[in-house]
Amino acid sequence: MNNSIEEIWKKGFISDDALVAPKLNDLYNKKSKNIVDKFEVVFKWNLIGLLVFAVVVLVVSSIQGVPYLGLFISAMLMSLVIRGRKEQASLKLLDKSGSSYQYLKSFDDWLKQMMIGYGKLYSFFYPALFLSIATQIRNTEFGQLAINGFVNEYPDTVMLFATPLYLLLAVAVIASLLLYFSGVLYRIDFNSLYGRMLTKLEDLISDMEELRC
């Protein structure tokens, strides 16, 4: 034979018009479509889940007498939903006229840019969520009783805004840590939903690039 099996496969993979290995092209096309379709479905339901959760938080917080906290958290959740809708629109603009390899590379680039954008949002989301909850707890009857008990136990405590300075510093440190590790926290959150798909995407692109060599 003039060509090895490997060379035939490469030729069939590189050219969509080649007839030597159409089944190979078809296999990669199906795998590519399957990965992107699964991601779109999970991403869509994730946005729906965030939207529903935002409404639930607002309703529950209003019933519990903390409407401003609920409104703030719901607004942050809605910002994630709005960002997600924009990302969905940009995903649909990816060029599907080329090969499955080119489409997957475009999808991979889109995915990385999306993660960068969301990472910036979450760098604000995590510390803001913590600070809003901490502020609300401070203003509750339980929070005031806890502060009064602490002050009675340690009467020399330095106070700032009617709150022990040590407590304010602790809150500031935790918020700073959430800001610093927001990227790690977001990646853990992201991988919990899309981790397996990302692994399959990387493996498929790696296989395609190996065949193209």
What are the structural domain ranges in the chain?
5-212
pLDDT confidence of residue 50: 92
**Which residue type does 142 have?**
F
> Does the global pTM surpass 0.95?
no
Tokens 């919990």 belong to 192
| pLDDT on residue 27 | 62
Contact 166, 156 (CB under 8 A): no
pLDDT at res. 59: 92
Alpha carbon of residue 67 to chain centroid: 26
Task: Give the HSE-up count for residue 114: Cα atoms under 13 Å, Cβ half-sphere.
Answer: 20
Tokens of 179: 């800001």
What are the residues whose beta carbons fall under 8 Å from the beta carbon of 54, sequence distance 6 or more? 73, 74, 77, 78, 81
What was the pLDDT predicted at 8? 40
What pLDDT, on the 0 to 100 scale, is given for residue 51? 94
The separation between CA 88 and the C-alpha centre of its own chain, rounded to angstroms, equals: 13
H/E segment holding residue 160 = strand 159-160
Q: 195-211 in b/e burial notation, b at 16+ Cβ within 10 A?
A: eebbeebeebbeebeeb
Please, what is the angle between helix 165-180 and helix 182-212, to 10°? 10
Per-residue pLDDT of the chain (213 residues; tens, 9 = 90+): 444 434 444 444 444 444 444 555 666 667 777 788 888 899 999 999 999 999 999 998 888 888 888 899 999 999 999 999 999 898 888 877 767 778 888 888 898 898 888 888 888 889 998 998 888 888 877 778 888 887 888 788 777 777 888 888 988 999 999 999 988 888 888 888 888 888 888 888 787 777 665
Q: Is 58 buried (19+), middle (13-18) or exposed (0-12) by CB count in 10 A?
A: buried
pLDDT of amino acid 25? 62
- Predicted local distance difference test score (pLDDT) of residue 98: 67
